[in-house]
Structure 1
Amino acid sequence: MTLPVFPVHSPDTGIRRQVLAESPAQMVVSFRFESGAEGKPHNHPHVQSTYVAKGVFEFHRAGETFLLRPGDSLVIPSGVTHGCTCLEEGELIDVFSPRRDDFL
């Protein structure tokens, strides 16, 4: 059995996104950020878990600010406005539930 390889997309300047695995119930996505790149504030109906694989990020979630480093993680509830700034080049591994069909 061959696993699918998903294409890399650049949703904004300095950001590369690649789906790693997906099912209707859940999706795993890699986001690679250059230093200074921003995940602009947004919200969506999916529950999101973010894990910092590499780099340093300043996250904003519902008016709170968090400094996240490798090994740190954060849950973003459904509908909550959030965004981040990459302070040191890195990678986030995000899990969305249910799957983000807009990423396919």
Structure 2
Amino acid sequence: MVKREVLASEGSVMVVKVELDKDFHGDEDKHVEEQVSYIEKGSVEFEVAGEKRVLHEGDVQYIPSNAPHRVNVIESCTILDVFTPVRKDLLDGK
């Protein structure tokens, strides 16, 4: 399960709360917006541009513009994603 909630979208910055269930495996994603992901709860493996890293509560992952990335959830998690500029596709609910 993936649950997204846009918490803020002001100027050129967007904050999105993402909740993911244990054992969720995300498809590869790639977008022009820079992204910073803060792990609020749980643990997740991020793969960014071919490099894997396990993150736990309190850890942060930076994802550069156009870097291919994906997540594999180890323990149900809540992630706060910050994007710049704003991801208009998330505002449209896509």
TM-score (norm 2): 0.94
Amino acid at match of 2:22: S
Any unmatched runs of 5+ in structure 1? 1-13
Q: Could you tell me how far apart the structure 1 residues matched to 2:49 and 2:31 are?
A: 13
Q: Which runs of 5+ in 2 are unaligned?
A: none
Match of 2:65, SS state, is coil
Q: Equivalent residue for 1:83?
A: 70
Q: Which has the larger radius of gyration?
A: 1
Aligned length: 91
Find the aligned partners of 1:77 and 1:24 in 2 and give their Cα distance: 19
Question: What is the RMSD computed on CA atoms of the aligned residues?
Answer: 0.7
Structure 1 residue 23, shift from structure 2 partner: 1.8
Q: Runs of 4+ in structure 1 displaced over 3 angstroms?
A: none
Aligned-partner Cα distance in 2 for 1:56–1:72: 9
* 2:33 maps to 1:51: no
Decide which of 27, 32, 45 is 2:19's aligned counterpart.
32
Match of 2:5 in 1: 18
Output the TM-score relative to the length of structure 1: 0.85
Question: 1:65 maps to what in 2?
Answer: 52
How far apart, CA to CA, are the structure 1 residues paired with 2:83 and 2:64? 10
Q: Relative contact order, CA 8 A, sep 6+: which one is greater?
A: 2
